[in-house]
């Protein structure tokens, strides 16, 4: 008889991407995190303990990086507060190749004075690229803050402009 997978079991793999090595993590419920190479807990290359969520995420990320995927549909297990999840859902609604400001996102979620709180939720996004926090810019269009660094943010935005 098969034993059930413990709810705390973690699954993971690394992806060599055009923006560097990505660590992709999942639970038994869905994708939980994507870490950039500069993350203090980034996984070493070729680390893996896969499940279907990892496989789907890797496949979809590969499609994104070759310009064949603009929307992700992998199952997410992102955690967070209700407010954070509402911000992350709004981020996923920003069309490929476009950007929005923190204020735009605040208005989208019905909290027009919460631009700073939106920035904090954006900063805590555990699943960048799939939840595209790189598409959020300052009110003047400037590139501000990104877990992978501004060079990677710029590369992702250029990639999307070229493939939109």
Q: Which residues are tagged catalytic?
A: 133
Going by C-beta distance under 8 Å and a sequence separation of 6 or more, which residues neighbour residue 72? 60, 64, 92, 130
Q: How far apart are CA 117 and CA 32, in angstroms?
A: 22
Instruction: Count CB-CB contacts under 10 A for residue 47.
Output: 13
Residues 49 and 9: beta-carbon distance below 8 Å? no
């Amino acid at each position: 008889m098969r034993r059930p997978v413990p709810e705390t079991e973690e699954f993971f793999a690394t992806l060599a991407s055009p923006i560097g090595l990505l660590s992709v993590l999942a639970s038994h419920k869905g994708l939980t995190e994507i870490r950039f190479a500069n993350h203090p807990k980034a996984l070493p290359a070729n680390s893996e303990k896969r499940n279907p969520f990892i496989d789907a995420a890797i496949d979809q990320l590969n499609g994104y990086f070759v310009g064949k995927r603009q929307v992700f549909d992998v199952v997410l297990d992102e955690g967070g507060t209700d407010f954070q999840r509402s911000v992350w859902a709004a981020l996923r609604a920003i069309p490929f190749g476009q950007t929005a400001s923190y204020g735009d996102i605040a208005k989208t979620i019905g909290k027009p004075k919460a631009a700073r709180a939106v920035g904090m939720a954006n900063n805590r996004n555990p699943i960048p690229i799939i939840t595209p926090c790189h598409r959020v810019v300052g009110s003047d269009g400037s590139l501000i803050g990104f877990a992978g660094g501004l060079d990677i943010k710029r590369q992702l935005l250029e990639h999307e402009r070229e493939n939109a």
